[in-house]
Amino acid sequence: MTLIPIKSQTAEPREITMERLYRQGETLAQVGDKFGLTRERVRQILKERGVSKDQGGEALQAARRKEQKERTRQQRRQARQEYLAEWCLQTLGCTIDEAVRINGGKPITRQRSCRPNGSAYDKYLGIRNQVLLKNRTAYLSLPDWHQAWVRSGHWEDGPGHGWCLIKIDPQKPWELNNVHVVRAGSWIKRGKS
């Protein structure tokens, strides 16, 4: 009695293997190289099996690249947001949400606008940078600066419109209880009278 070898149940037919490789992202040429076929013949075999060109190969690789690019973009956006949040806490003394609220809903960036737009944030950074350059002393936080202007009643016509914020006692640091809003230029006369 002769035994006829039974085909192994684990071995896949060639067409199924080709389809599986193509759906995993290999190109027609790569699949064809493994079986000694041209990419056109692989395309014909896959077409007979009902596999279209957008179900694997280059289309799948392109989709993966697009997903990776989007993930990278989201990671960068998240990193920028985290950096900006930390910068706001250290530099402005408040959260991003509070800074945006004070800024009238306009977004906050790390730098002052190259074309100052008259926003509260731009005005604050401009004044803060002047104080830091001139005196190298700590300035008010954005919420304290805003509160001083609102408390004075000159917030609407205030920063940059004929009014300025000065220290009551020049020897003390910039603090909310040591500042006062005065008409621009009147603080010069204060020391003379």
**The pLDDT value given to residue 167:** 87
In angstroms, rounded to a whole number, what is the distance separating the alpha carbons of residues 4 and 172?
102
pTM for the structure as a whole: 0.60
Q: For the segment 169-188, what is each residue's pLDDT rounded down to a tens digit?
A: 888 888 888 888 888 776 55
| pLDDT score, position 131 | 82
C-alpha to C-alpha distance for 12 and 129, rounded to whole angstroms: 72
| Residue 76 backbone phi and psi in degrees, to 5 | -65, -40
Of the candidates 71, 104, 88, 4, the residue with the CA atom closest to the CA atom of residue 96: 88
Residue 1: per-residue pLDDT: 45
Tell me what pLDDT residue 69 has. 96
Q: For the chain, what percent of residues have pLDDT higher than 90?
A: 16
Low-confidence ranges of the chain (pLDDT < 50): 1-8, 191-193
At residue 186, the pLDDT reads: 64
